[in-house]
Amino acid sequence: MTDESEFDSIYHEYKNLVFNVSLHYLLNKEDAQDVAQEVFVKIYNHLHQYDSNTASLKTWIYRITINQSLDFLKARKTKKRFALITSLFHPDSNEPIKEVAQFSHPGLVMEEREALEELLKTIQSLPENQKTVIILSKIEDRQQKEVAEIMNISIKAVESLFQRAKQNIAKKLKTREGF
Amino acid sequence: MAMDIEKKLELLKNIRQVDAPPFMLARIKERIHTISNPVTPVQWKWAFGLAGLIMIALNTFVYLSGNKAENKGSIETLVGTMDMSNTNELYHE
């Protein structure tokens, strides 16, 4: 049984980290709130299983948040696909295909909003590992060693993923710009 | 192009961290409480209760019917079931 005061203390220390990481993955405030809540429920239920010898609490919480965000993205993709398929069977239906998620990231400044929106959407389309490396390195500003620890891979693997992610982003942006 | 992408990725550093919504803790605690104390819907309770009563009634009926059949005696029951005669009359004259 998790101690309430211990949980409250963890919540207040990590609430912004969890919410912001979810936001960087989901690009939508409401979805990020849902995921952040799920993360803390998981923390509450599994805190007794946390072993400080294997990883720091921050690393553990990062991992739960990343996994929960990626699961949410997978479920959202499935929902969208299902909506599209069902719409094929009801072509006369006036019901619009629900836009599953709208972009709403409150952390973007007005002047660079458009460029950042395009970049974040491109990052979101990357494979999971590449996406995570970019988010942790460039948005969360974590050192390579910390990224490696969170993702439970070697530093070399982080470097390799980062390079591939950059190439992928460059290719996708070039396609969008129509060069 | 390498410079371009580096420049673009540097934009990401301008994303500012935002505060988590203030009501989040209350919602989390509500979720935790709901998970640890699940509430069975009233309709389910009634449905299971009714199903249980029907099962008991059926079993009682079967048991009592069985008892009556046993009291007749097994030979009579067999004869009756197979529509046979328990006399020595071979022909119906």
* Of the partner residues A33, A107, A109, the one whose CB lies closest to the CB of residue B21: A33
pLDDT category, A179, cuts 50, 70, 90? very low
Min distance B11 CA to chain A CA atoms (Å)? 7
Instruction: Break chain A into its structural domains and give their ranges.
Output: 1-107, 108-179
Contact A33 B24 (CB under 8 A): yes
Using CA atoms, how far apart are residues A61 and A4, in angstroms rounded to an integer? 17
Q: What number is the ipTM of this complex?
A: 0.77
Over residues A56-71, the pLDDT tens digits come to: 999 999 999 999 999 9
Count of alpha carbons within 13 Å of A127, Cβ hemisphere only?
A: 9
Using CA atoms, how far apart are residues A15 and A35, in angstroms rounded to an integer? 12
As a whole number, the mean pLDDT across chain B is 83
As a whole number, the mean pLDDT across chain A is 88
Q: What is the pLDDT of residue A93?
A: 57
Contact B5 A109 (CB under 8 A): no
Closest CA to B1 of A91, A2, A102, A173: A173
Task: Please provide the CATH number assigned to the domain covering A1-107.
Answer: 1.10.1740.10
A115 interfaces chain B, CB cutoff of 8 Å: yes
Using CA atoms, how far apart are residues A99 and A86, in angstroms rounded to an integer? 14
Q: What angle do CA B54, B60, B62 make, to 5 degrees?
A: 105
Using CA atoms, how far apart are residues A173 and A177, in angstroms rounded to an integer? 6
Does A53 score more than 50 pLDDT? yes
Q: Is residue B67 part of a domain?
A: yes
A109 contact residues in B (CB cutoff 8 A): 14, 16
Does B4 score more than 70 pLDDT? yes
**Average of pLDDT values for B80-87?**
76
Q: Is residue B33 part of a domain?
A: no
Q: Is residue B19 part of a domain?
A: no
Closest CA to A170 of B89, B6, B56: B6
φ, ψ for residue A104 (rounded to 5)?
A: -155, 90
Task: Please provide the CATH number assigned to the domain covering A108-179.
Answer: 1.10.10.10
B4 interfaces chain A, CB cutoff of 8 Å: yes
Q: Is residue B54 part of a domain?
A: yes
Over residues B5-46, the pLDDT tens digits come to: 888 899 898 899 999 999 999 999 999 988 767 777 788 889
What residue in B sits closest to A108 (Cα-Cα)?
Answer: B15
| Domain around B55 | 40-93
- To probe the interface with B, which of A38, A119, A163, A179 has the most B CB atoms within 10 Å? A119
**Average of pLDDT values for A23-51?**
95
Using CA atoms, how far apart are residues A86 and B33, in angstroms rounded to an integer? 36
Q: Is residue B80 part of a domain?
A: yes
Q: Is residue B89 part of a domain?
A: yes
CA-based torsion, B67, B73, B76, B82: positive or negative:
positive
Number of domains in chain B: 1
A127 interfaces chain B, CB cutoff of 8 Å: no
A41 contact residues in B (CB cutoff 8 A): 28, 31-32, 35
Q: Is residue B6 part of a domain?
A: no
Q: Is residue B1 part of a domain?
A: no
Using CA atoms, how far apart are residues A60 and B28, in angstroms rounded to an integer? 19
